[in-house]
Chains A and B, each alone.
Chain A
Amino acid sequence: MKGYHLGELEELVLLTVGILNQEAYGVSILEEIKNQTGRSVNISAIHTVLNRLEEKGFLRSKMGGATEERGGRRKRLFTLSATGRAAIEQVKTVRNKLFEQLPPFALDFSYGY
């Protein structure tokens, strides 16, 4: 099976785009990550990640509506593509698989001795 290599921030952004569903653009992603995880990410980093993900085919984008806050400029709205969704799911399976193999840390006193 072909592997999806996602960086940590990429994964985070990909998930956020999925959550925001139709309303994902630079600032809203930034806010969502901040609200959900408490992490404050630089907006330029988010743009870079978004572009990279779009290049890889995990995201699709189109230009969306303008608002006054943006000085009449349009947003680029991102949506999750099928590949993107598959990538998240694969990452999740890999994580879970690995997680389940983790030994119960608290009970194994012999570890390391």
Chain B
Amino acid sequence: MDIKRNHQPPKLADHFLEFYCSAEKLEQIQGDAYEIFYLNLEEKGLRYARFRFFIHVLSFFRWGNITKTRLTNYSAMNTSMLKNYFKIGWRNLLKQKATTFISVFGLACAVGCCLVAYLFIEQIWFKGMLQPNKNEIYQLTYAVDEKEGKVRYGTVAEPIAELLKDEFSQIKSQTRVKSGFPVLIHQRESFKQRVMYVDPGFMEMFIYQMEYGYPQALSEPNQVILTYELSEKLFGDTYPIGQEITLVTNGKEIQYKVGGVLEKLNDMEIFNFDLLVNFETQEMLESAVSVKDSWNSELWTFVQIDGESNPNALSAGLEGIRKSQNKINPEKPYLNLELLAYTDLVSESEQIENGVISFLAIGPQILLGAIGAFVLILAVFNYINISILMATKRLKEIGIRKVIGSRRSQLMIQFLSENLIVCVLAICFGCLLAVFIFLPGFNQIASKSLKIDLFNDPYIWAFLISFTAGITLASGLYPAAFVSSFKPVNILKGNQQIGSKSILTSVLLTFQFTLAIISIVAGIAFLQTNYLNENRDWGYDNSDKIIVNVPESEGFLALKNKLSAIATVEGVSGSQNYVGNYIEESAVTLNGLEYEVNLLQAEATYPELLGLELTFGRFLDSKSATDLTENIIVNEKFMSDLGLGFPTEEIIILDSINFQIVGVVADFHSEFFERPIAPTVIRATGDIAYDFLTLQISPGSASASMDLVKGSFREIFPRGLFQGKLQEDVFEFSFNDVRGVQNIILFSAILAVLLSAMGLYGLVSLNMSSRIKDFCIRKVFGAEMGDLSKKLFRRYLISWGIASILGGIVSYLIVTSFFDSFFAFHSGVGLLPLSSGILGLLLVIGVTVSSQLWKVYKANPSYILKAE
């Protein structure tokens, strides 16, 4: 008999037999197979017996023996079992309210963050995809040979649109699209608005929901369609249809009536405009132009093709148009004229010059995606840690279920279905969080109008469903597999040890701490940089100054005189650009070498009026003729870049005129701190009309004087667009941007700390509840609180220590490179952010763990030890 005990039939074949054989026949078949195996074993040896066993198992694989009723007979998936899984899961979650809350809250925050990030990324990559006709629309593009090689343009010559009509029958509708920034005048107020000149076909091709009026309004050449935002801004509560507005392009005024108002546009629309104007009126503006000129003017042209016809059928006709273009414009012959599918506009945008979409905002996408991923990882790790620990309380349940005959897969389904409940709850709460808190905040910061549009947006559904499945598996698969792997014998004997000391928990915890440190460091460093930048010296005196634009050069002198006459105005000076905004770039030549510089052309009084600090030499004098023609002043950066010292006799050649440097001013920030200070030349010219006037106002009355200035402006330019602003506000826009980013980063840092604290709290409290007797016994035997806390703290402090080193290094690298790409002037990652990150986390750990120690301290051992 020994031989029988030592040898078993091949396992693989045996399992296969068990797998396929129907339950009622398995016993006899397997029994016979075993019996023959042992007969063969005795007679012919192991090899033969095993071989025969294989053959037998295969030969038993017959229709009659294969289980056909397996699914109804035994199944982990039938409805009553599923109901049972969810019922048990639900009860378990209710039993553990605190930990359920930690899991759901953490995951909900993660879902909220990820939703915002997703929506932001979606509106970039799926832009325009909600248009119902998206598969029928094509844009015309052409390619030409240029210095860099073949370049594809998204615009085509204007007359091509006219030719299309005669050439093709498949084209359902077509439109030319051209944008412009004319001045819009309504009731003496003027605005600068983004106008799109389109053909009436535009409204057939692209479907927009109308708030008032009809899309056909555009067929009348004197009607326009406004966006909801513009209509609200212009008319407020009054009914907009039929209202009159005036557009000024190149000095010509045209009256329009409002024919329709679109519903609020969301960010999924591919075009960005404030009002739509019939293209015909744009043509009327242009005086008769030659054929060649009209072929030189280019614009976007879209066609909508009949659903059934193939876009390739148009290529022959397009080839004909290309040939006629080459004849008319031989200097710039089109290499090809192609259709670009509307659905490819975004993905092809890199290859298309002058396309509808010019840039994809990769940086913000990475930032938001990273934040979403951070928070998600934290929440998922929390969940993994907690659910493994939670299983310690359910070991008996697992053991009993296994003994009764539950399979491992059933147990896994049990745990996964609990997880699914948590995830679905988290998704619901996450959506609510996103809709009511995250999205409004983000929209305000990023001036977007992102929203979760469950009714119109199929992509959001795809995202939500795949996201639910994803986090369910990511957070639940490992705990389920781990917990269901225990042997019932060990569990019921009480030998199973899990959770509290597992390496995985420590690794996850350390990783969480690391993420928390990185986000705190990023937040504090950003805060510090912003604080420094907001208090940074701009290099000139930015207070008490107003900048006024000059819309038409004829009125320059009149406006200047008018403004000088205001009582609070102490000085007026004109400039071509103004400090705090873009400054024209130019090149100077010194000793035959060319240098890129910024060129500020202004009146001679401008540098002094602005309060630039003179370090050497003198300012320019408007009365001196040579100062206006031969002398310039430069900034220190210019001197150091060109290797000059003051005084210098070197001749600077600018616009092929020789100049002498008579003064050097201290470096000043003409652009925001994102950009480094560029070498700058300030050149005074005679009495020409400048584009901007800078006013020095008597101290303290700058904002009060703004109305007076505007009044004077109106007297000179009754229809002009007033763009006056305070000099101290020139960076306001950038500051707002940066503050927005700062708020996002701070918010995510707070969230990260909160989540890791909650995860830690969950871990410690679960740990504590299983070890409270241990601690109480120690207490009874006279252990000091110090010893006890050392015991409890040690593990978390080790995690913290490792995380500090890792997080310190990683955050230094990441945040520094982030800053370098974002700012030319920043504080860097110094001791303050690093130490506050590391110590802040220590504080959080301390508070969390101490709150549990307090429980031990307060606990009366006699009550706790009596309990059992």
Chain A interfacial positions (CB closer than 8 Å to B): 25-27, 30, 42-45, 47-48, 51, 63, 66-71, 73-76
Once A47-B29, A74-B27, A76-B28 are accepted as A-B contacts, the answer to whether A27 and B60 lie under 8 Å apart by CB is: no
Once A27-B36, A43-B36 are accepted as A-B contacts, the answer to whether A71 and B60 lie under 8 Å apart by CB is: no
Asked if A73 and B27 sit within 8 Å, CB to CB, the answer is yes
A100 to B681, CA, bound (A): 132
Q: Which listed residue (B25, B28, B38) contacts A75, Cβ 8 A?
A: B28
Asked if B31 and A73 sit within 8 Å, CB to CB, the answer is yes
B16 to chain A, nearest CB (A): 14
- Whether B33 sits at the interface, judged by CB under 8 Å, is yes
Kindly list chain B residues whose C-beta atoms are within 8 Å of the C-beta of A63: 27-28
Chain B residues 47-61 with CB under 8 Å of chain A are 56, 59-60
A75 to B27, CA, bound (A): 8
Once A42-B59, A69-B4 are accepted as A-B contacts, the answer to whether A47 and B27 lie under 8 Å apart by CB is: no
Kindly list chain B residues whose C-beta atoms are within 8 Å of the C-beta of A67: 35
A17 to B687, CA, bound (A): 127
**Could you list 28 examples of A-B contacts with CB < 8 Å?**
A25-B32, A26-B28, A27-B35, A27-B36, A27-B39, A43-B33, A43-B60, A44-B56, A44-B59, A47-B25, A47-B32, A47-B60, A48-B62, A48-B64, A63-B28, A67-B35, A68-B1, A69-B4, A69-B35, A70-B30, A70-B35, A71-B30, A71-B34, A73-B30, A73-B31, A74-B27, A74-B28, A75-B28
A23 to B28, CA, bound (A): 14
Asked if B34 and A26 sit within 8 Å, CB to CB, the answer is no
Kindly list chain B residues whose C-beta atoms are within 8 Å of the C-beta of A76: 27-28
A25 to B62, CA, bound (A): 19
Once A43-B56, A51-B64 are accepted as A-B contacts, the answer to whether A69 and B28 lie under 8 Å apart by CB is: no
Q: Which listed residue (B27, B38, B64, B65) contacts A69, Cβ 8 A?
A: B38
Once A44-B56, A69-B4 are accepted as A-B contacts, the answer to whether A26 and B62 lie under 8 Å apart by CB is: no
Chain B residues 1-38 with CB under 8 Å of chain A are 1, 4, 25, 27-36, 38
Interface of B is mostly: helix
A75 to B36, CA, bound (A): 13
Asked if A70 and B60 sit within 8 Å, CB to CB, the answer is no
Once A47-B29, A74-B27 are accepted as A-B contacts, the answer to whether A69 and B56 lie under 8 Å apart by CB is: no
A63 to B31, CA, bound (A): 12
B50 to chain A, nearest CB (A): 15
Kindly list chain A residues whose C-beta atoms are within 8 Å of the C-beta of B25: 47
Can you add 20 more A-B contacts, CB < 8 Å, to A43-B32, A75-B28? A26-B32, A42-B56, A43-B36, A43-B59, A44-B56, A44-B62, A47-B28, A48-B62, A51-B64, A63-B27, A70-B30, A70-B32, A70-B35, A71-B30, A73-B27, A73-B28, A73-B34, A74-B27, A74-B28, A75-B31
Asked if B59 and A69 sit within 8 Å, CB to CB, the answer is no
Kindly list chain B residues whose C-beta atoms are within 8 Å of the C-beta of A45: 59
Asked if B4 and A68 sit within 8 Å, CB to CB, the answer is yes
- Interface residues in B, total, Cβ within 8 A: 21
A74 to B29, CA, bound (A): 10
Kindly list chain B residues whose C-beta atoms are within 8 Å of the C-beta of A51: 64
A30 to B56, CA, bound (A): 13
A76 to B30, CA, bound (A): 11
Kindly list chain A residues whose C-beta atoms are within 8 Å of the C-beta of B1: 68
Q: Using CB atoms, name the residue of chain B closest to A45.
A: B59
Kindly list chain B residues whose C-beta atoms are within 8 Å of the C-beta of A74: 27-28, 31
Kindly list chain B residues whose C-beta atoms are within 8 Å of the C-beta of A42: 56, 59
A70 to B34, CA, bound (A): 5
A42 to B32, CA, bound (A): 12
A30 to B32, CA, bound (A): 10
A71 to B59, CA, bound (A): 21
A24 to chain B, nearest CB (A): 12
**Top 4 closest A-B pairs, CB basis?**
A73-B31, A70-B31, A44-B59, A26-B32
Kindly list chain A residues whose C-beta atoms are within 8 Å of the C-beta of B28: 25-26, 47, 63, 73-76
A44 to B60, CA, bound (A): 5
Q: Using CB atoms, name the residue of chain A closest to B33.
A: A43
A75 to B56, CA, bound (A): 17
Kindly list chain B residues whose C-beta atoms are within 8 Å of the C-beta of A70: 30-32, 34-35
A48 to B32, CA, bound (A): 13
B13 to chain A, nearest CB (A): 13
Once A44-B62, A48-B64, A51-B64 are accepted as A-B contacts, the answer to whether A71 and B31 lie under 8 Å apart by CB is: yes
Q: Using CB atoms, name the residue of chain B closest to A70.
A: B31
Kindly list chain A residues whose C-beta atoms are within 8 Å of the C-beta of B65: 47
B141 to chain A, nearest CB (A): 70
- Most central of A43, A68, A76 by chain B CB within 10 Å: A43
B381 to chain A, nearest CB (A): 46
A84 to B670, CA, bound (A): 110
Kindly list chain B residues whose C-beta atoms are within 8 Å of the C-beta of A27: 32, 35-36, 39
Kindly list chain A residues whose C-beta atoms are within 8 Å of the C-beta of B36: 27, 30, 43
Q: Using CB atoms, name the residue of chain A closest to B30.
A: A73
Q: Using CB atoms, name the residue of chain A closest to B55.
A: A42
A54 to chain B, nearest CB (A): 11
Asked if B60 and A69 sit within 8 Å, CB to CB, the answer is no
A45 to B29, CA, bound (A): 12
Kindly list chain A residues whose C-beta atoms are within 8 Å of the C-beta of B29: 26, 47
Q: Using CB atoms, name the residue of chain A closest to B56.
A: A43
A75 to B33, CA, bound (A): 11
Kindly list chain B residues whose C-beta atoms are within 8 Å of the C-beta of A66: 31
A55 to B56, CA, bound (A): 23
A66 to B27, CA, bound (A): 10
Kindly list chain B residues whose C-beta atoms are within 8 Å of the C-beta of A26: 28-29, 31-32
A54 to B35, CA, bound (A): 22
Q: Using CB atoms, name the residue of chain B closest to A50.
A: B28
A73 to B14, CA, bound (A): 14
Kindly list chain A residues whose C-beta atoms are within 8 Å of the C-beta of B60: 43-44, 47
A4 to B65, CA, bound (A): 25
B323 to chain A, nearest CB (A): 78
Chain B residues 464-478 with CB under 8 Å of chain A are none
B653 to chain A, nearest CB (A): 102
Kindly list chain A residues whose C-beta atoms are within 8 Å of the C-beta of B32: 25-27, 43, 47, 70, 75
A78 to chain B, nearest CB (A): 10
- Most central of B1, B4, B28 by chain A CB within 10 Å: B28
Kindly list chain A residues whose C-beta atoms are within 8 Å of the C-beta of B4: 68-69
B378 to chain A, nearest CB (A): 52
Kindly list chain A residues whose C-beta atoms are within 8 Å of the C-beta of B33: 43
Chain B residues 33-90 with CB under 8 Å of chain A are 33-36, 38-39, 56, 59-60, 62, 64-65
A75 to B31, CA, bound (A): 7
A73 to B32, CA, bound (A): 9
A66 to B65, CA, bound (A): 21
A27 to B64, CA, bound (A): 19
A44 to B29, CA, bound (A): 8
A51 to B60, CA, bound (A): 13
A67 to B35, CA, bound (A): 9
A44 to B59, CA, bound (A): 6
A27 to B36, CA, bound (A): 7
Kindly list chain B residues whose C-beta atoms are within 8 Å of the C-beta of A43: 32-33, 36, 56, 59-60
- Most central of A42, A66, A73 by chain B CB within 10 Å: A73
Q: Using CB atoms, name the residue of chain B closest to A26.
A: B32
B3 to chain A, nearest CB (A): 11
Kindly list chain A residues whose C-beta atoms are within 8 Å of the C-beta of B62: 44, 48
Kindly list chain B residues whose C-beta atoms are within 8 Å of the C-beta of A73: 27-28, 30-31, 34
A43 to B56, CA, bound (A): 7
B41 to chain A, nearest CB (A): 10
A85 to B454, CA, bound (A): 75
